[in-house]
Amino acid sequence: MAPVGPRSGDAIFANMERVNAELFTLTYGATVRQLLTDLEEVEEVNKQLDQMGYNIGIRLIDEFLAKSNISRCVDFKETAEVIAKVGFKMFLGVTASVTNWDADGTCCSIILEDNPLVDFVELPDTFQGLYYCNILSGVIRGALEMVSMKTEVTWIRDVLRGDDAFELQVKLVKQVPEEYPYKDDE
């Protein structure tokens, strides 16, 4: 069989089974509110959302690789582009762009043009420390960890906090060398 090239995010999204974004938005909102009630501390909620995202990321990467036909990225630059152009499109149906590269190409910003998580959301003054979309940064961190990249993902700009865009900084901490999961003597 001829090798199949990577597919575009649009094409994959068009072929995915889809649900109404409002159901997704409201379910996420219900989740965040539940966490706020249970954990009380905004910091704890941020942590829990990140953890949930991480759990999703480590499973989501499988589906991502299976459906996108993307093979190993040559460098972190390509990785970031793939997350923005294919990953976000495929799962959330939104486009993102990559900017603000540092000199050695290990740190960049992903800018979300559209964010289905925040429809109908207004952050009350009492929760100003909340990173409402923190689940997304967890997803990216978890997914990249599964392809041997340790990253730090932080929110730089957040529309809910009064900024003009959603900006996620993704920083490559280290590339974990691949190891076989078994030893010779086993």
Please give the residue ranges that form the binding site for another protein (CB under 8 A): 13, 16-24, 26-31, 33-35, 38, 48, 52, 55-56, 59-60, 63, 90-93, 116, 119-122, 128-129, 135, 158, 161-164
Q: CA-CA distance, 180 to 146, in Å (whole number)?
A: 14
Q: How far is the CB of 97 from another protein (least distance, A)?
A: 19
Q: Which is nearer to another protein, 159 or 175 (CB)?
A: 159
Q: Which is nearer to another protein, 34 or 71 (CB)?
A: 34
Q: Which is nearer to another protein, 76 or 118 (CB)?
A: 118
Q: CA-CA distance, 153 to 170, in Å (whole number)?
A: 5
Q: How far is the CB of 159 from another protein (least distance, A)?
A: 9
User: How many other CB atoms sit within 10 Å of the CB of residue 88?
Assistant: 23
Indicate the residue type of 94.
Answer: V
On whether the CB atoms of residues 106 and 172 are closer than 8 A, the answer is: yes
Q: Which is nearer to another protein, 76 or 83 (CB)?
A: 83
In this structure, what token pair is assigned to residue 38? 């249970």
Q: How far is the CB of 64 from another protein (least distance, A)?
A: 9
Q: How far is the CB of 115 from another protein (least distance, A)?
A: 11
Q: CA-CA distance, 108 to 167, in Å (whole number)?
A: 10
On whether the CB atoms of residues 95 and 88 are closer than 8 A, the answer is: yes
On whether the CB atoms of residues 94 and 111 are closer than 8 A, the answer is: no
Q: How far is the CB of 81 from another protein (least distance, A)?
A: 20
Q: Which is nearer to another protein, 76 or 89 (CB)?
A: 89
